C-alpha cells in the first residue's frame, strides 16, 4: 500500500466517510458533555441529532461507488445502503430508549455514548474492504454491546448475560484473528480485493483461514451452532437496546460477510457450506422458539431462524442472492425494532421483561390497542404473511436459491417459516383471545400506563413502513442495482 500521498488525500477520505466521522465525534462530545452535565436532558438529543445528520449525509452516497482511505473502506452503493440501515436502526432505538431509560432511572450519558460508538463500529464493519477494518469495526461494535447488555447492574440476569456475551465473544474473536493470520500467511495481503487471486491455489492454509473467519462471522449473526449467547443476552439486556443489537449488528456483520464472499472467495467452494449452516440454523432456531414462554427469549430464537433465512440467499452465491439478503435485512430491522418496542412497554417484572411469561400479557391487546394492533403487523410480517414486507422479504431470499438449483434449501426455508407462524400467532392469541383473568396471578398487567409519544411514533412508523415495503418493490429494486 502506497502511503506517500496519504496526507494529501486525507480530507477527501474524511469527506467520503463523513457519516462515520460525525457519529464518532458525537460519541466523544457526549462523553465530555456528560462529564460536566450528568444526566442532562440534552444528551439523548445530541445523540439523536448526530444520527439524523449522519443519515441525511449518507443518502446521496447511494448513487456513488468507490473507496476511501486507500481502499480500506467502500463508499456508496451497498455500503451506503447498509450504513443507512444501521443509522436508521440507531435513530429508532434512541427514540425508544429515551423514555424507557427514564422509567428505569438509567438515563445516563454512558448509554448514548456507547450507542454512538457501537454505531461507528457497525458503520466501519459494514463498509469494510480490508481485514483490518473488518476487525476494528467488529471489536468496536462488540465491546460497546457487551457494556450495553449489562447496563442495569442491579439486575443479576443482565450481568450474567453480559459476562456470557463477553466470554463467548472473546472466544470467537480468537478464531477470527487466527483466520486473519492464516489468510495473510497464505496470500501475503489483507486486502479483500487482492485475496481472490490466491484463492484458486487450493492452499490448505488459505481455506483453514477462511473456515476460522467464517466462525467469527457466524457467531456475530447468531447462526447455529454459534448461537448459544443469543437467548440469554436478548433476555437480560434492556429491551429497546436488544432491538438495536438484533438488527444493526446483524446488518453490519452480514454486510461484511457478503463483501468477503464477493471479493475474496470463489462461490463454487463455499455455497454448500453456507447451505448446511442455513438449514440447521432455520430448523433449530424455529424448533427451540416453539417451547419458549418468555417473549424476549422467543424473539431471540426467532432472530436465529432469520439469520438462517439470510444464509439461504447467500448460499445461492448470485447477485440476486446478495441483493435479496440486503432487502431482507431492511425488512427484518423494521419488524424487530417494532416488536421489541412493543415489548418495552409491557414490562412489569422489574427485570426488563426477562422473567415474565407470555401469559402475563393476557388481554393486553384490548386494553392497549396501539400496542396490540401494531404487534399484529409485526408478528404477521415476521411469519411472512402477505401483503406485509415479511412476505416479500422471504421471497427475496428464497427465490435466488431456487434459481441456483437449491430447491431443497428453499423448500426447507418455507417449511421452517410455516412452523414459525405457530409461535408468532401464539403471541396474538394471548393478546386478544385471553382475558386478564386468565393471565398469571400477581402481575401488574391490568395497571394503567401512558405510552410515550416517541414510542407511539416509532411503532406507527414501523407499521406503516412494513405495509409500504410489502406492496411496493422500490427498496428491493434499489438493492438489485448494487450487485448487477
- CA–CA distance, 377 with 389 (Å, rounded to integer): 10
| pLDDT, tens digit, 9 for 90 and up, residues 315-336 | 988 889 999 999 999 999 999 9
Return the percentage of the chain with pLDDT > 90, whole number. 44
| pLDDT, tens digit, 9 for 90 and up, residues 272-288 | 889 999 999 999 999 99
Residues 6+ apart with CB under 8 A from 331: 381, 389, 390, 392, 393, 466, 469
Q: All 3 cell numbers of residue 410?
A: 428453499
Mean pLDDT of the chain: 86
CB atoms closer than 10 angstroms to residue 421: 16
Say what the pTM is.
0.93
Residues 6+ apart with CB under 8 A from 477: none
Query: At 232, is the secondary structure helix, strand, or coil?
Result: helix
Kind of pairing between the strands at 73-75 and 66-68: antiparallel
- Residue 5 pLDDT: 61
| pLDDT, tens digit, 9 for 90 and up, residues 401-452 | 999 889 999 999 999 999 999 999 999 998 888 776 555 544 444 455 678 8
Nearest to 316 by CA among 282, 373, 254, 272: 272
**Chain centroid, CA 320 distance in Å:** 21
Q: Minimum mean pLDDT among 52-61, 188-197, 236-245: which range?
A: 188-197
Read off the DSSP letter of residue 270.
T
Burial class (CB in 10 A: 0-12, 13-18, 19+), 153: exposed
| pLDDT class of 457 with cuts at 50, 70, 90 | very high
Contact call for residues 343 and 302 (beta carbons, < 8 A): no
- CA–CA distance, 21 with 44 (Å, rounded to integer): 18
Query: At 75, is the secondary structure helix, strand, or coil?
Result: strand
Question: What number is the average pLDDT over the span 133-154?
Answer: 87
pLDDT at 36 over 50: yes
Distance (Å) of CA 447 to CA 347, 348, 355:
11, 9, 18
- CA–CA distance, 242 with 236 (Å, rounded to integer): 9
Contact call for residues 203 and 184 (beta carbons, < 8 A): no
Amino acid at each position: 500500500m502506497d502511503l506517500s500521498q496519504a496526507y494529501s488525500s486525507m480530507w477527501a477520505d474524511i469527506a467520503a466517510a463523513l457519516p462515520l466521522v460525525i457519529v464518532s465525534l458525537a460519541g466523544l462530545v457526549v462523553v465530555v458533555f456528560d462529564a460536566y452535565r450528568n444526566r442532562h436532558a440534552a444528551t439523548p438529543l445530541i445523540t439523536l441529532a448526530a444520527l439524523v445528520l449522519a443519515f441525511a449525509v449518507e443518502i446521496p452516497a447511494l448513487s456513488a461507488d468507490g473507496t476511501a482511505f486507500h481502499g480500506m473502506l467502500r463508499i456508496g452503493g451497498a455500503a451506503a445502503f447498509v450504513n443507512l440501515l444501521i443509522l436508521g436502526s440507531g435513530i429508532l432505538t434512541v427514540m425508544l430508549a429515551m423514555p424507557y431509560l427514564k422509567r428505569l432511572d438509567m438515563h445516563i450519558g454512558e448509554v448514548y455514548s456507547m450507542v454512538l460508538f457501537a454505531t461507528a463500529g457497525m458503520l466501519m464493519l459494514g463498509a469494510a474492504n480490508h481485514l483490518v477494518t473488518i476487525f476494528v469495526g467488529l471489536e468496536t461494535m462488540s465491546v460497546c454491546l457487551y457494556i450495553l447488555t449489562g447496563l442495569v447492574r442491579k439486575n443479576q440476569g443482565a450481568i450474567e448475560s453480559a459476562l456470557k456475551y463477553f466470554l463467548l465473544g472473546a472466544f470467537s474473536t480468537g478464531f477470527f484473528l487466527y483466520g486473519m493470520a492464516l489468510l495473510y500467511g497464505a496470500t501475503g495481503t489483507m486486502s479483500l480485493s487482492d485475496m481472490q487471486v490466491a484463492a484458486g491455489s487450493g492452499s490448505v492454509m488459505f481455506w483453514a483461514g477462511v473456515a476460522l473467519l467464517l466462525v467469527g462471522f457466524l457467531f456475530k449473526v447468531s447462526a447455529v451452532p454459534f448461537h448459544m449467547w443469543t437467548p440469554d443476552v436478548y433476555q437480560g439486556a434492556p429491551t429497546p437496546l436488544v432491538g438495536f443489537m438484533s438488527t444493526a449488528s446483524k446488518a453490519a456483520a452480514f454486510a461484511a460477510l457478503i463483501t468477503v464472499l464477493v471479493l475474496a472467495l470463489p462461490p463454487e467452494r463455499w455455497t454448500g457450506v453456507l447451505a448446511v449452516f442455513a438449514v440447521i440454523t432455520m430448523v433449530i432456531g424455529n424448533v427451540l422458539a416453539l417451547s419458549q414462554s418468555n417473549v424476549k427469549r422467543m424473539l431471540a430464537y426467532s432472530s436465529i431462524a432469520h439469520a438462517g433465512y439470510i444464509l439461504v440467499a447467500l448460499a445461492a452465491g448470485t447477485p440476486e442472492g446478495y441483493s435479496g439478503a440486503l432487502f431482507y435485512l431492511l425488512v427484518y430491522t423494521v419488524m424487530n425494532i417494532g416488536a421489541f418496542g412493543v415489548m418495552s412497554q409491557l414490562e412489569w417484572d422489574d427485570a426488563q421483561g426477562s422473567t415474565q411469561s407470555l401469559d402475563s400479557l393476557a388481554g393486553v391487546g384490548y386494553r392497549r390497542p396501539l400496542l396490540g394492533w401494531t404487534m399484529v403487523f409485526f408478528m404477521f410480517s415476521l411469519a411472512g404473511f402477505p401483503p406485509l414486507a415479511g412476505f416479500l422479504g422471504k421471497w427475496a431470499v428464497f427465490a435466488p436459491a431456487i434459481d441456483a438449483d437449491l430447491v431443497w434449501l428453499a423448500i426447507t426455508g418455507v417449511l421452517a417459516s410455516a412452523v414459525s407462524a405457530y409461535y408468532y400467532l401464539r403471541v396474538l392469541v394471548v393478546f386478544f383471545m385471553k382475558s386478564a383473568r386468565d393471565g398469571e396471578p400477581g402481575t401488574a398487567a391490568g395497571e394503567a400506563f401512558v405510552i410515550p409519544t416517541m414510542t407511539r411514533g416509532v411503532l406507527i412508523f414501523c407499521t406503516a413502513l412494513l405495509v409500504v415495503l410489502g406492496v411496493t418493490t422500490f427498496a428491493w429494486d434499489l438493492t438489485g442495482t448494487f450487485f448487477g
